[in-house]
Chain A
Amino acid sequence: MEPISKPIVGERTAPTGPALINLGRPPYKTLFWRKLQDNLVQVFSVAALTLAVGVMLWILCTILVRGSEALSWDFLTKLTAPHGFEGGIGNALLGTLYITLFAALIAVPPAICAGIWLAEFGKQSFLADALRFSANVMMGMPSIVVGLFVYMILVAPMGASSGLAGSVSLAILMFPVVMRTTEDMLMMVPDTLRESGLALGLTRCRVTLQIICKAARNGMVTGVLLAVARVSGETAPLLFTAQFAQTWPNTFFNGPTASIPVLINNYGMSNFEDLQTAGWGASLVIAVLVLSINIIARVAFRDKKH
Chain B
Amino acid sequence: MDTQQEPKIKIRARKLSFFYEGGHQALFDNDLDIPERQITAVIGPSGCGKSTHLRTYNRIYSLHRGQRAEGEVLLDGENILDPKTDLLTLRRRVGMIFQKPTPFPMSVFDNVAYPLRLHFKLSRKEIEERVEAALQGASLWDEVKDQLRKSGLALSGGQQQRLCIARAIAAEPEVLLMDEPTSAIDPVATLKIEDLVLRLRERFTIVIVTHNMQQAARISDRTAFFYKGRIIEVGPTQQIFTAPKEKKTEEYITGRFG
Contacts and interface: CB of A to CB of B under 8 A. Distances in A.
Chains A and B belong together in one complex? yes
Interface of A: 1, 3-5, 123-124, 190-203, 206, 211, 214-215, 217, 305-306
B100 A200 contact: no
Nearest to B98: A192
Interface size range on B against A: 35 or more
A203 B65 CA distance: 17
A205 B100 CA distance: 23
Nearest to A123: B65
B79 interface: no
Contacts of B237: 1
Nearest 5 pairs between A and B by C-beta? A199-B96, A196-B102, A201-B91, A201-B92, A1-B217
A206 B164 CA distance: 18
Contact of A200 (B63, B65, B114): B114
B214 interface: yes
B105 interface: yes
A41 B173 CA distance: 58
B104 A211 contact: yes
B9 to A, nearest CB: 22
A201 B242 contact: no
A192 B105 contact: no
B167 A200 contact: yes
A214 B171 contact: no
Chain B residues touching A, majority SS: helix
B100 A190 contact: yes
Nearest to B65: A123
Contacts of A215: 104-105
A220 B154 CA distance: 21
7 contacts: A193-B102, A196-B104, A200-B118, A200-B168, A201-B92, A202-B118, A305-B151
Contacts of B177: 199
A109 to B, nearest CB: 22
B8 interface: no
Interface string B225-258: 0000000000001100110000000000100000
B241 A1 contact: yes
A305 B119 contact: no
A195 B98 contact: yes
Contacts of B157: none
B134 to A, nearest CB: 13
Interface in B114-162: 114-115, 118-119, 151, 153-154
A201 B88 contact: yes
